[in-house]
Structures are given as C-alpha cells and as structure tokens.
C-alpha cells in the first residue's frame, strides 16, 4: 500500500551552470522540479512509500521528468497526454546583490487539464496520506476543481490530507487565492503555511502563535504549521504550540527548502511519529537541502539524523 500520494505539476527546470546568466549561457542544466514531487521524493528517501500522480506530455521531455523522480524510488502514476506541453522554468542563481531569478514558462502544461475521472482517485483513497499545494489550484480552473475533488475524496476515505499554501504571486491574485483556498481548507488535516502568506493571502495579523492558533481553530486542522524563514517554525496540534528552530546552514541551494521541510515532516508524521519529532525532522531535512543542487532533497535518514544530533557529516576516515 502507498503511504503517501502527492498530486501537482512538475516542471523541467533549466538553469545556467554555476553563476552564469540565462541571457548568455550556452548550456542549461536540466532538473525535474515541482512542489508536490519534491515532497514525494523527500518522503520516499526518508522511508515512506510515495507515489506522485500527474499528467504529462507523452514525449521524451515528459519522460525526462518521471525518470528523474523514479530514480529516487518514487512511483509515478501518470496520465500520458498528446495534448498540452511540458511546463518549464528558467532559474538563475547569483550571489548578493544579484540573487536568484525565476522565469516561469508553465502555461498550458498538460497537467492543467487533469480531471478526477482520468486520475487514479482510488490510489488516493487507499493511501495513508495525500498531499498537494496551493500551486495546483492556481494553475487552472480545471485544476482548482480537481484539487477540491481529490481532497474531498481523500477526506472521505479517511486518508490524511496535507496542504502547503505555497502562494505564488505570478500565478494568481491574493484575494482569488484566499477564496479558493478557504474552500479547500475544510478537507485539510495538516496545513503548512508561511507566515508571510498567512498575512498577505489569508489576511491574518498578529503574532505568529496567534496566527497559527487562529487558523487551527477556524478550519479545525489536525496540525497547523507556520514556517517563518530563518526564525523558528511553529506548529499547533491539539491546542499545543510546538516551536522548532532552524538548523544552521550555509545556503548555496535554497530552492526547494520549503518542500523539503514538508517532506521531512510528513515522512515522520505519516509514519506515526509525534508532531514534535516530525517538526525536528522537517527542520533537519530543510537544512540539508540548502547544500544540495536542484529542487530535490537528495538526502538519507542517516544524514538527517546527523544534522539533528548537531553533527556535520564531515570526512570520517
């Protein structure tokens, strides 16, 4: 049986090597990148049996995506389509003050037309947990409806539902997002939201703890996690606040850190660990991710444990 099913878009990420610029580079490094598949990979590598569900163009470009995900052990359950393109994004990294630059080219991706009747809903119903993010309903009206249906189906089948708000300002306006999201929330058990999005999108104000408590109460989430950048993350569960500081990390490859946090959390929580333990694992996984190129947390349980124990997996010989 599958422990976790995730659903969403995975793009091909095209990046100039090193700190070269998109405009002048002659090669782009290619990687699979998607919030929900990032989570699937992280949980699979950390012990769950994960499946990523999506819709992709039936082409070598689409298979480039599933090949990379499958190399980490994730099962991919794909609607292969003759319509719709493979979404891509261009990512350029530079040191300060240049920073990172992202150019999305994801319109009309095959996944934007995915409907529940072509997706393996039964897998979601029979899985222990289901995870998706706020990116998915933002991609198309069809996907907004599909997300709603899938969450309902999962909730109906007592599959634990997890949802990362993951607001993307290039995809939709805050008020549209809020309206859509609050329709989804009643079917969500575990909510992860950045404090910034809780404020700007969900319209919350006040201290972090009171924001988390407020969301937990309003939507009756089983677990409500508020991430806060380099400040400690907060979780509310059963009315109790848990605080989890970040682990120290240089941050050569920050993209995907949030998904790694979620992946670390779910890998433990779905396996039955406590919120506290799961949060610690989330923070350890996120710290490690920051040292790893690409969007994906190519980590092992031993490495996460070493970070949590405060050590660095440095040369032992």
Q: Which of residues 114-133 bind its own copies (CB under 8 A)?
A: none
92 binds its own copies (CB under 8 A): yes
Which of 25, 79, 145, 176 is close enough to bind its own copies by CB under 8 A? 25
Task: Check binding of 1 to its own copies (CB under 8 A).
Answer: no
The binder of its own copies chosen from 49, 152, 157, 168 (CB under 8 A): 168
Give the relative orientation of helices 301-308 and 275-289 as an angle to the nearest 10 degrees: 100
Retrieve residue 231's tokens.
Answer: 């400040």
Q: Which of residues 52-71 bind its own copies (CB under 8 A)?
A: 59-61, 63-64, 66-68, 70-71
DSSP state of 47: T
Residues 274-303, one symbol each (x = binds its own copies by CB under 8 A, - = not), give -------------xx-xxxx----x----x
**For residue 237, what are the β-bridge partners?**
223, 240
- Using the contact rule CB under 8 A, the part of the chain among 119-127, 164-172, 234-242, 274-282 near its own copies is 164-172
Q: Which residue has the tokens 């991710």?
A: 289
Residues 196-235 that bind its own copies (CB under 8 A): none
182 part of the interface to its own copies, by CB under 8 A? no
User: Which phi and psi angles does 63 have, rounded to 5°?
Assistant: -70, -25
Cβ closest to its own copies, residue 23 vs residue 117: 23
**From CA 40, how far away is CA 61, in angstroms rounded?**
20
CB-side exposure of 289: number of CA atoms within 13 Å? 28
Tell which one of 115, 158, 248, 274 touches its own copies (CB under 8 A).
248
Choose, by CB under 8 A, the member of 47, 49, 79, 94 that binds its own copies.
94
In order of 201, 206, 247, the CA distances from 209 in angstroms are 17, 8, 20
- Output 24 or 240, the one with its CB closest to its own copies: 24
Q: Catalytic site residue 3?
A: no
Q: Does 107 help bind its own copies (rule: CB under 8 A)?
A: yes
| Nearer CB in complex with its own copies: 107/209 | 107
Q: Which residue among 108, 259, 295, 314 is the active-site one?
A: 259
Question: Nearer Cβ to its own copies, position 89 or 219?
Answer: 89
Cα–Cα distance, 2 to 4 (Å, whole number): 6
Q: 12 near 30, Cβ under 8 Å?
A: yes
CB of 85 to its own copies, least distance (A): 5
Q: Which helix (H) or strand (E) holds 45?
A: helix 35-45
Helix (H, G, I), strand (E, B) or coil at 61: helix
Q: 32, 39, 29: which is closest to 257 by C-alpha?
A: 39
Vertex 135: Cα angle to 130 and 140 (nearest 5): 105
| One residue of 117, 230, 240, 317 binding its own copies per CB under 8 A | 317
């Amino acid at each position: 049986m599958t422990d976790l099913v995730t659903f969403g878009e995975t793009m091909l990420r095209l990046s100039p090597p090193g700190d070269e610029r998109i405009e002048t580079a002659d090669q782009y490094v290619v990687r699979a990148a998607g919030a929900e598949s990032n989570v699937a990979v992280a949980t699979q590598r950390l012990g769950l049996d994960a499946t990523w569900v999506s819709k992709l163009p039936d082409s070598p470009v689409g298979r480039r995506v599933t090949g990379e995900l499958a190399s980490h052990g994730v099962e991919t359950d794909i609607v292969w389509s003759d319509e719709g393109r493979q979404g891509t994004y261009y990512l350029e990294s530079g040191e300060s003050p240049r920073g990172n630059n992202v150019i999305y080219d994801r319109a009309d991706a095959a996944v934007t037309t995915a409907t529940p009747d072509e997706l393996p809903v039964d897998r979601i119903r029979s899985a222990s947990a289901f995870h998706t993010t706020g990116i998915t309903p933002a991609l198309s009206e069809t996907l907004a409806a599909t997300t709603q249906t899938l969450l309902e189906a999962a909730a109906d089948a007592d599959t634990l539902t997890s949802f990362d708000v993951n607001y993307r300002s290039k995809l939709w306006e805050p008020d549209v997002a809020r309206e859509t999201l609050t329709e989804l929330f009643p079917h969500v058990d575990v909510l992860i939201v950045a404090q910034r999005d809780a404020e700007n999108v969900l319209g919350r104000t006040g201290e972090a703890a009171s924001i988390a408590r407020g969301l937990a109460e309003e939507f009756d989430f089983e677990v409500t996690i508020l991430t806060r950048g380099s400040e400690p993350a907060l979780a509310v569960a059963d009315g109790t606040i848990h605080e989890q500081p970040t682990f120290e990390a240089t941050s050569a490859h920050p993209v995907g850190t949030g998904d790694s946090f979620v992946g670390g959390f779910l890998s433990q929580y779905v396996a039955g660990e406590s919120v506290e333990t799961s949060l610690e694992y989330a923070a350890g996984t996120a710290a490690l991710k920051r040292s790893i190129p690409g969007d994906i947390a190519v980590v092992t349980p031993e490495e996460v444990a070493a970070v949590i124990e405060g050590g660095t997996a440095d040369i032992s010989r």
